[in-house]
Amino acid sequence: MVKLLVGLGNPGLQYERTRHNVGFLFLRQLALESGKPWVDESRFQGLLSEYKTPAKTIKLLMPKTFMNLSGQSVGKVARYFKLAPEEILVVHDELDFAVGVAKLKKAGGHAGHNGLKDIIAHLGSNDFYRLRIGIGRPPEGGNVANFVLSNPSQKEFELIESAMQEGRSLIDKLLLEN
């Protein structure tokens, strides 16, 4: 049973609408709809809130570390609440999917995503769920780091929002099955 949703992103206004912050954008929407405020929990290096579904309430975590150190926060929350990796679902950007594609999966590698790599290291396992939101790839020869840290066009942002809605449906279905 999933008990914690983690959104990956970078803290700071300059990153707020970047491709790399789709995990944060996704969780902010869930907390807003649930009417739950974000609480700054320095002991977890993150912000906590809740997502209320008809069946259960799920904890939400936005690490306050930068993306590449997300595992520090996730690991602290997992240890404190005694969560197994399979009780965690991480929402993140996915370069290997076209803009607007959302897919849910359990376990797997990090595919070069440094946030996932750090979470795997801190949990000692890759056996957690992932909601992958497609952001596409930079044009051939383009710098990946610059691409993920840039803002998508308005059309791309609308596709990402659509993927987040699809992702929400996938998560709700998973939570009903769990």
Instruction: Give 153's DSSP letter.
Output: P
* Cβ 89 vs Cβ 137: under 8 Å: no
Residue 91 corresponds to which amino acid? Answer: V
Task: Say if CB 4 and CB 170 are below 8 A apart.
Answer: no
CA quadruple 87, 90, 91, 93: dihedral positive or negative? negative
Distance CA(172)–CA(10), nearest Å, equals 25
Contact residues for 54 (Cβ-Cβ < 8 A; gap 6+): none
The encoded tokens of residue 107 equal 């376990």
- Please report, for residues 64, 80, 87, the alpha-carbon distance to residue 148 in angstroms, rounded to integers and kept in the order given: 18, 31, 28
**Catalytic entry in 20, 92, 113, 122:** 20
List residues bridging with 52 in a β-sheet.
57
20 is catalytic: yes
List residues with catalytic annotation: 20
